[in-house]
Amino acid sequence: MKKLFFLVIFVLGLSAVFAQKETKAPKDTIEMKYRLDDVVITATRVGEKIIDIPYPVYRMDNSAYTFDKKTSVNEVLAGVPGLFMQSRYGNHDVRMSIRGFGSRSNSGIRGIRILLDGIPESEPDGQTRIEAIDFNSIGSIELVRGSASSLYTNAPGGVVNFINEINFPSSFVTQFNEFGEFGLRRNGVKLGIKSDDTKFMVSYNYHNFAGYRQHSEDFWNILNTVLETKLNDVSKLSLFGYSATGVIKLPGSLKKSEFDLDPYQAAKTEKDYDYYRLSNKGRLGIKFETSFDEKRNNEFEITGYVTLKYFERAQKTVRIFNRYGMGASTRFTNKSKIVGLSNTFSVGGDLFYQTGPIEEYNNINGLKGDNLLTLVDETIQNAGFFLQERFEFIPDKFALLLTGRYDNVTFAAKNRLLGSQDDRKKYEAFTPKLALNYKLTPYLSLYTSYGLSFDSPAGNELDNYPTSSNQGKIYNPDLEAQKSKNFEFGVKGNLIFSQGLFNYLFFEGTFFNIMIDNEIVPFEVLGSVFYRNSAKTNRTGIELGAETAILKALMFKFSYTFSSFNYDTYTARVIKLDNQGNFVTQDKDFSGKIVPSVPKHNFYFSAAWSKDLTENLTGFIKGSVVHISDMYTDDANSESNPSYTLLNSVFGLDLKVKNLNFMLSGGVNNILDKRYAAFLNINSTSARFYELGEPRNAFISFTTGYRF
């Protein structure tokens, strides 16, 4: 089977190379013109051009990864400056971090607000799992880097909005298949129907993966649907729905000696207790958008949604979460002139309420026992509102953006086995931000911003631990919200050339400095993970990115991120058992240490060739290289994960015959079969830090489509 994969990929590559057409030489005179910039909605919650937004914003549509492997977000978003992703157990457990926010999470995504069609996929406490996101149904992705706390809850690192494909030009049906090594199989179908005023899209994806480590298999069924109808010239109604069901087995983290001996093995405890996660979740949403006038100077938007979630997690005990949620958001925007200058004012709010019981049972050799250990009713609520003011001092050249948000995140728990034990925890803050944008030309701008951010602990981060200041509480009484001061300065440009060697050039560069108070970091007590505050942290970095095309066929993409993150002051309490079985505590000073799980250097480069081989056939080849420098595994900097470099390739052929479309693609990831740790389980007291990254693997996909 492996030989077959490599043979198919080799043939695809040869056919594309030998079919290349001759390219005409460029003329001596080069005419340059500007490209109308992409309009995004995520960065300011109002439709704005990227060039007019005074912080780093990245947008991509699904054409950017048409031929690529699409099993997880780290494959789709590779090469975004400032974004670092560590793959663990597939798409649902990729650790995403922007400027270090999110690097603390040992499960799911933290510090970055995740949206699906503009509706929060993040929980009200900020924790996120992205099982429901299917990249075969996604039409575009918008990513905001840097603090977005002045507009979104728990978003100190930024926001990622995955938008399902609904803006298709005509009705279609597509059937897609993907197969790869280690038992990878993905099959699905997508249907789009368009009439004069209505569009409907539905997609289904079946995913099955045996995994490249012992005890790491998973499977998923994912359904996504969107219905959009135009009510009149200024109003639109949209309905959203999804269902995601599946299970994943967890192989666990390894010690350095275990990793060096056999990185494919599962940790003994995880295997003996059959660690797994089972998830059934669904959501229904509705959005109404309207304008009070044809010039759209006054816009109103309101969104409502309900969620149902069943989550079962087996570790040394089995915990079952039943979640029932409902949420809403609203926004009003007014565009007007003040003393002849453009002014945009927005006001809005968000509410997300989630409640349900949490049951905990004993785990008997991997099976849920009948002994109910705990039963807690938990409610998490987030309520917040924001204000936004954008004023142009010089028309279409120099603008001021002021934003501010108030958030109140509340946790309430009632122990139903101990009726007298109730607990409540509240975190609130106001986070303003000031930003300036100066356009040197219509498509070249300088920007700077300064703002505050706020990040409350997630529900699982609030678990109380031995030796806390109050053992009678359900929640950790000592854990404070993480707050930071964020400064950045940058430049970005977006040009297109109608003639000459280069066809277009997009580039950006950003310098940032972040001062964090009470950074939330994980630590272990006898193998159980808890969270604490680390006093003050200083983060300084540079993000660079560029994309260009030569002679309309050869495309280059480059990104580099430099990160210098240090604990300024940090005294941590280490907890162990003595020979008599009593807890012993010892304070250690980590001041001056480097923040773990963040590489100092993160480099990406790709070169892609795309060409019309015949009137109906397009060929595609892409090679990419990723380099990640070494990273520390814990706050004490006791061990370091070595740097690694990965080489990847993708090949494809796209054939169009009248209304039919056939696409064949394949590739090899980690061509040199580099053995490396892709995920670090930071601050493990048992030194179980390392989880193997995907070895060399080939994939092949075949898609058939028909447009009506």
420-455 tens-digit pLDDT: 788 999 999 999 999 999 999 998 999 999 999 999
Check residue 502 and give its pLDDT: 81
Residues 609-638: tens digit of each pLDDT: 999 999 999 999 999 999 999 999 999 999
Residue-range domain boundaries for the chain: 2-707
H helices present in 529-586, as ranges: none
Whether 503 and 497 have beta carbons less than 8 Å apart is answered as yes
Whether 134 and 188 have beta carbons less than 8 Å apart is answered as yes
Whether 68 and 371 have beta carbons less than 8 Å apart is answered as no
Distance CA 174, CA 33 (A): 36
Distance CA 248, CA 11 (A): 35
Please give the radius of gyration of the chain, using alpha carbons only, rounded to the nearest integer.
25
Closest CA to 210 of 107, 68, 90, 73: 90
The pLDDT-based confidence of 521 (bands split at 50, 70, 90) is confident
Find the angle CA(455)-CA(458)-CA(464) to the nearest 5 degrees. 120
Check residue 571 and give its pLDDT: 84
Please give the mean pLDDT across all residues of the chain. 89
Q: Give the dihedral of Cα atoms 671, 676, 682, 683; nearest 10 deg.
A: 180
Whether 363 and 316 have beta carbons less than 8 Å apart is answered as yes
Check residue 304 and give its pLDDT: 98
Count Cβ atoms within 10 A of the Cβ of residue 31 and give its class: 0-12 exposed, 13-18 middle, 19 or more buried.
Answer: exposed
Asked if the model's pLDDT at residue 76 lies above 50, the reply is yes
Residues 449-508: tens digit of each pLDDT: 999 999 999 888 898 887 788 888 889 999 999 999 999 999 999 888 877 788 888 999
Cβ neighbors of 373 (< 8 A, separation 6 or more) are 317, 360, 361, 362
Asked if the model's pLDDT at residue 9 lies above 50, the reply is no
| pTM value > 0.75 | yes
Buried b (16+ CB within 10 A) or exposed e, 503-530: bebbbbbbebbbebebbbbbbbbeeebb
Cβ neighbors of 289 (< 8 A, separation 6 or more) are 235, 236, 237, 238, 299, 300, 301
Find the angle CA(271)-CA(276)-CA(281) to the nearest 5 degrees. 175
User: CATH second-level architecture of 2-707?
Assistant: Beta Barrel (2.40)
The pLDDT-based confidence of 28 (bands split at 50, 70, 90) is very low
The pLDDT-based confidence of 279 (bands split at 50, 70, 90) is very high
